[in-house]
Chains A and B, each alone.
Chain A
């Protein structure tokens, strides 16, 4: 049963600390999405990769957030320095894009981040 995995599942940190969240997309998928979910804003798209190349990160605060795909099996989202307003659940999703159309996005279980 192929699934998107995310680590850690929970993270509590203090303001100013660096936070790194990791995602392993479903094997063979070539698109990866990072979302943030809060009660106030709902599901927001932060960044989007296709074939490991960043295509859209317009939803991401550039000064403190960064997203990378070091290889096809790992995507990372980093916050440095973290702030209390970053507290949220961060989801990774993957899918398979071919010929201009995209398949379904499959979500991971999320990382619940609390910044004190």
Chain B
């Protein structure tokens, strides 16, 4: 089955710096890769996603890149702000499969220091 690895597990940056979180997946048939942000005491919230037919997607300060050959994808946050501090999860699934299950990475705790 699919396995998703996420690195680093913790990341501390200064306000205004960029943050990069990387994930690798094992199932070459996976074709949907969302990123979720989870704040303390809340459920994960989707912040951006990418499908396998594109290599990059950007939404304001957030971007995701996908390398299908290497089977890895990354989240890039530019000009970080204290409110970006949260746990970030990557996930992978095979759209069109029997169950469309999301397989999550283990999470990255991002701390943005003011």
Say yes or no for B95: interface residue by CB 8 A criterion. Answer: yes
Q: How far is the CA of A97 from the CA of B44 in the complex (A)?
A: 20
With an 8 Å Cβ cutoff, the count of chain A residues facing the other chain is 22
Pick from A102, A106, A108: contact of B95, CB below 8 A. Answer: A102
Say yes or no for B114: interface residue by CB 8 A criterion. Answer: no
Q: How far is the CB of A18 from chain B (nearest CB, A)?
A: 24
Q: How far is the CA of A104 from the CA of B35 in the complex (A)?
A: 11
The answer to whether B106 and A104 touch across the interface, beta carbons within 8 angstroms, is no
The answer to whether B100 and A43 touch across the interface, beta carbons within 8 angstroms, is no
The answer to whether A102 and B43 touch across the interface, beta carbons within 8 angstroms, is no
For B100, list chain A residues within 8 Å (CB): 31, 97, 101-102
For B105, list chain A residues within 8 Å (CB): 42
For B73, list chain A residues within 8 Å (CB): none
Q: How far is the CA of A60 from the CA of B42 in the complex (A)?
A: 23
For B93, list chain A residues within 8 Å (CB): 102
Say yes or no for B29: interface residue by CB 8 A criterion. Answer: no
Q: How far is the CB of B33 from chain A (nearest CB, A)?
A: 12
Within 8 A of A (CB), among B89-114: 89, 93, 95-96, 98-102, 104-107
Say yes or no for B10: interface residue by CB 8 A criterion. Answer: no
The answer to whether A91 and B102 touch across the interface, beta carbons within 8 angstroms, is no
Smallest CB gap from A100: residue in B: B96
For A91, list chain B residues within 8 Å (CB): 43-44
Which residue numbers of B lie inside 8 Å of A, CB to CB? 32, 34, 36, 41-46, 49, 89, 93, 95-96, 98-102, 104-107
A-B contact pairs, 5 of them (CB 8 A): A100-B96, A101-B100, A106-B46, A107-B43, A110-B43
